[in-house]
Amino acid sequence: MHLNVILAQTMLGLSAGVFYAMLSLGLAIIFGLLNVINFAHGALYMLGAFVALIGYSYIGPWLGYDDFHLGFWWALIVAPVVVGCFGMLIERFMLRRLYQFDHIYGLLLTFGIALILQGLMSRYFNVSGTAYGGQPDSLSGIVNLGFMYFPTYRLFAIVVSIIVCVVTWFVIERTSLGAVLRAGVENPRLVEAFGINVPRLITLTFGFGVGLAALAGVLAAPIYSVSPLMGANLIITVFAVVVIGGMGSIGGAIVTGLALGLVQGLTQALYPPASETVIFFIMVIVLLIRPAGLFGKDTAS
Amino acid sequence: MPELLRIRDLNAWYGESHVLHGVDMAVNEGEVVTLLGRNGAGRTTTLKSILGLVDKRRGSIQLDGSEVINRPTHRIARQGLLGYCPEERGIFSRLNVDENLNLPPRLSRHGMPVEEIYAMFPNLAERRRSLGTQLSGGEQQMLAMARILRTGARLLLLDEITEGLAPVIVKTLGETIQQIKQRGLTIVLVEQNFHFAAPLADRHYIMEHGRVAEVVEAADVEAKEAHIKRLLSV
Ligand SMILES: Nc1ncnc2c1ncn2[C@@H]1O[C@H](COP(=O)(O)OP(=O)(O)O)[C@@H](O)[C@H]1O
Ligand SMILES: [Mg+2]
């Protein structure tokens, strides 16, 4: 096979992998502190894309200003903030009541929230998808990467996602703010006994993780069509990524997300029929060999 | 001397199990007070109850005159300027020594500067970049103490700090407690080791079955030594 084809598939794989990475990163952060597997993560990703879509195409006419469009750059900020705040309300008023019970209740609650969000959006928007028209002109067209011509916007999405992932990793693993989070993951009661407001830390962490999902949703909007089920389809793959990477590690979530995007891209080139299933195949192998995942800590032993 | 801590009729539960049955005690500013007793007497639970780390509690806990029994843990710690050293030491394994030391927020302006703390615990200074779990038991204990000296806590709750440590380290810890006391800090010391506690404390509360069975002032220790040892022996 020609090297250029491999490089081209690498880029395509990467452009899927960054979404896996951002979503599994948010899931890992939330799981670390809350011990809740956030089944609403895909729906909140979808909501992020819809905030961008609604802001661009609908909100102006709704408010009677037909030529108002919330631009893409604003959407990159507004959607994570709006969805992050929504997430914090969910945590503060619903999830928080469930921590005293088995984790399964948190999972069920977030699953229910996902269904409600998807159902609501399906009532008002086309299930087969709506095109997002807000992609800025400066990001349209293609760039020559030497080995291939690549859509400028996709390159932009890859770069932004990787920067966001690396900065998030750095803040968590290398700063004093991150130290509070790491300590909270390990022993929240003791952290609170030192005078740190752990309940608020949990709310903010959930908001941040969910905000990451929304940011991924905005970045996805110009690439994929915006649909109420876009998150439901993606999150299945992301959960497989999380199972493969293991829930334990922030860096592991990022690396696994990117790597599996690459694997998927290369499979697409080598043996296209397997590209949809290769991640699940890897998941089975990993579960057999390392049940706690590649980066997970084996808590059973 | 103002009363920093006053506990009245404290009851505490873990789930359904009723562990403390009416504990009463008081600690004045600048005092070192011990909680002695056999394993399972309820000493750790008493400290945890002060911080709200048990499932349910009833009674009264006053810190510097204000009632805190219904407050959330983080507010109690700030209100009472508490420094807690848990029985299992609670060193965070994913944090290095520096990060462990700097984790607890400053509660008042009277905390020790980090450099002074490292001068007090030179072993830790050499291991600033080591992860918490790479430390020896003694080093972990030093770190758990150092960590709360930095915050400017006024009332230290120390749970079995000598447990499982070599005699030289126990001796160093005794000297550390003396130094801390001279700085005017107030200490509640949970101990198993009466020989360690006796010369440090102003008063001993001997617990049994979730109650205070006996209160012994330092001055009376010699006269009551045989009685105390009987209460503590297994
Ligand atoms: N987490 C817990 N859940 C249930 N019971 C506990 C728990 N911790 C301690 N206990 C029980 O509470 C009693 C008092 O324990 P503790 O306060 O740890 O005693 P001490 O510190 O004096 O050894 C013991 O009977 C112990 O078995
Ligand atoms: Mg104990």
Predicted pLDDT of residue A300? 45
Ligand 1 contact, B19 CB (< 6 A)? yes
**3-class SS letters over B151-217:** CCCCEEEEECCCCCCCHHHHHHHHHHHHHHHHCCCEEEEEECCHHHHCCCCCEEEEEECCEEEEEEE
A99 vs B: CB within 8 A: no
Ligand 1 contact, B37 CB (< 6 A)? yes
Pair of tokens at residue A2: 């020609």
Predicted pLDDT of residue A179? 97
Predicted pLDDT of residue A6? 85
In this structure, which residue's CA is closest to atom 25 in ligand 1? Answer: B40
- Is residue B142 a part of any domain in this protein? no
Among residues A193, A177, A180, A91, which one has the least CA distance to residue B49?
Answer: A193
Predicted pLDDT of residue B70? 96
- B77·A189 Cβ contact <8 A: no
**Spatial distance between the Cα atoms of B63 and B169, rounded to a whole number of angstroms:** 32
Predicted pLDDT of residue A301? 39
Predicted pLDDT of residue A298? 61
DSSP SS3 for A205: helix
A183 vs B: CB within 8 A: yes
CA of B98 to the centre of ligand 2 (A): 27
- Is residue B102 a part of any domain in this protein? no
Ligand 1 contact, B41 CB (< 6 A)? yes
| ipTM of the modeled complex | 0.95
Which amino acid, one-letter code, is at A25?
Answer: L
CA of B206 to the centre of ligand 2 (A): 13
- Is residue B88 a part of any domain in this protein? no
- A193·B78 Cβ contact <8 A: no
Instruction: Count CA atoms within 13 Å of residue A99 on its CB side.
Output: 13
- Is residue B229 a part of any domain in this protein? yes
Predicted pLDDT of residue A299? 56
Which range marks the domain in which residue B11 is found?
1-81+156-161+187-234
- A195·B104 Cβ contact <8 A: yes
Closest-lying ligand 1 atom to the alpha carbon of residue B87: 21
Residue to probe by mutation, ligand 1, list B11, B13, B45, B158, most atoms within 8 Å of CB: B45
Predicted pLDDT of residue B234? 61
Q: CATH no. for residue B42?
A: 3.40.50.300
Number of structural domains chain B divides into: 1
DSSP conformational letter for B106: P
Closest-lying ligand 1 atom to the alpha carbon of residue B41: 22
- Is residue B150 a part of any domain in this protein? no
Give the CA diameter of chain A: 62
- Is residue B214 a part of any domain in this protein? yes
**Spatial distance between the Cα atoms of B133 and B119, rounded to a whole number of angstroms:** 22
The shortest CB-CB distance from A190 to any of B78, B90, B94 is to: B90
- Is residue B149 a part of any domain in this protein? no
Which chain B residues contact residue A179 at CB under 8 A?
95, 99, 102-103
**Spatial distance between the Cα atoms of B227 and B225, rounded to a whole number of angstroms:** 5
Low-confidence ranges of chain B (pLDDT < 70): 234
Predicted pLDDT of residue A247? 82
In this structure, which residue's CA is closest to atom 12 in ligand 1? Answer: B19
**CB distance A142 to A152 below 8 Å:** yes
Cβ within 8 Å of B, A 184-243: 185-187, 189-199
Over its length of 301 residues, how does chain A's per-residue pLDDT go in tens digits? 688 888 888 999 999 999 999 999 999 999 999 999 999 999 999 999 999 999 999 999 999 998 899 999 999 999 999 999 999 999 999 999 999 899 899 999 999 999 999 999 999 999 999 999 999 999 999 999 988 899 999 999 999 999 999 999 999 999 999 999 999 999 999 999 999 999 999 999 999 999 999 999 999 999 999 999 999 989 999 999 999 998 878 999 999 999 999 999 999 888 999 988 999 999 999 999 998 899 887 654 3
- Is residue B11 a part of any domain in this protein? yes
